[in-house]
Structure 1
Amino acid sequence: MANIIRSAKSGIDWTHNDLYSHPITIHQEDHLLLIFTSQELPQPVIDQELLTILDADNMQQDRNAELIGLLDLAMIRDKGETAVDDFVVELFKVLGYVHRQRLARTRVDLPLLICSEQIYATTDVCILDRSQNDILLLVQEDKRSEPISARAQLVAEAVAAFNKNNARREAMGLSPLVSKVSYFLSWLIG
Structure 2
Amino acid sequence: MANLIRSAKSGSEWTSNDLDAFNIQIETVDVHEFFGIPLSHRPALRAEPSIGSIILDHVNAPVGLNLSREVRLFFRLLRDVVTRDDTAQESFVDDFFLHLLGPVLRFDEPDRVLHQRENFHFIMCGKLVDARPNIVLHDSENRILLLVQDKRPFSQGQVEPQLVASALAAFHTDDSRRTAVGLQPMLVERYVGIVMIGVAPRFYKIVITRALVDAVRHGQFPAVERLVLPIPTPNVNDYLREGMLPLLNRRVCFQCLELLKTLL
TM-score by length of 2: 0.63
The answer to whether the aligner puts 1:62 opposite 2:69 as a matched pair is yes
Alignment-derived partner of residue 48 in structure 1: 53
Distance in 2 (CA, whole Å) between partners of 1:72 and 1:31 is 28
Q: Is the 8 A contact 1:44 1:96 kept in 2?
A: no
The answer to whether the aligner puts 1:172 opposite 2:181 as a matched pair is yes
Percent same amino acid at aligned positions? 31
Distance in 2 (CA, whole Å) between partners of 1:30 and 1:140 is 21
- Note the C-alpha offset of 1:147: 3.5
Alignment-derived partner of residue 107 in structure 1: 117
The answer to whether the aligner puts 1:136 opposite 2:145 as a matched pair is yes
Amino acid at match of 2:107: Y
- Note the C-alpha offset of 1:68: 1.6
Larger Rg: 2
Alignment-derived partner of residue 118 in structure 1: 128
The answer to whether the aligner puts 1:4 opposite 2:4 as a matched pair is yes
Distance in 2 (CA, whole Å) between partners of 1:13 and 1:117 is 15
Alignment-derived partner of residue 94 in structure 2: 85
Q: Is the 8 A contact 2:7 2:124 kept in 1?
A: yes
Q: Is the 8 A contact 1:142 1:150 kept in 2?
A: yes
Amino acid at match of 2:53: Q
1:187 aligned counterpart, secondary structure = strand
Distance in 1 (CA, whole Å) between partners of 2:29 and 2:182 is 34
Distance in 2 (CA, whole Å) between partners of 1:75 and 1:36 is 33
Alignment-derived partner of residue 149 in structure 1: 158
Distance in 2 (CA, whole Å) between partners of 1:16 and 1:43 is 37
Distance in 1 (CA, whole Å) between partners of 2:68 and 2:105 is 15
Structure 1 spans left out of the alignment, 5+ residues: none
TM-score by length of 1: 0.85
1:123 aligned counterpart, secondary structure = coil
- Note the C-alpha offset of 1:26: 4.1
- Note the C-alpha offset of 1:177: 2.3
1:182 aligned counterpart, secondary structure = strand
The range that moved more, 91-100 or 155-164, is 91-100
The count of corresponding residues between Structure 1 and Structure 2 is: 185
Distance in 2 (CA, whole Å) between partners of 1:44 and 1:35 is 18
Q: Is the 8 A contact 2:153 2:197 kept in 1?
A: no
- Note the C-alpha offset of 1:54: 2.1
Structure 2 spans left out of the alignment, 5+ residues: 199-240, 242-264
- Once the two structures are superposed, what CA deviation does each residue of 1:59-118 show, in whole Å capped at 9, x if it has no partner? 522211101211111224343311110111100111110135211111111111111111
Of structures 1 and 2, the one with the larger relative CO (CA 8 A, separation 6+) is 2
Q: Is the 8 A contact 2:2 2:21 kept in 1?
A: no
CA RMSD of aligned residues (A): 2.6
1:127 aligned counterpart, secondary structure = strand
Q: Which has the higher helix share?
A: 2
Distance in 2 (CA, whole Å) between partners of 1:136 and 1:175 is 19
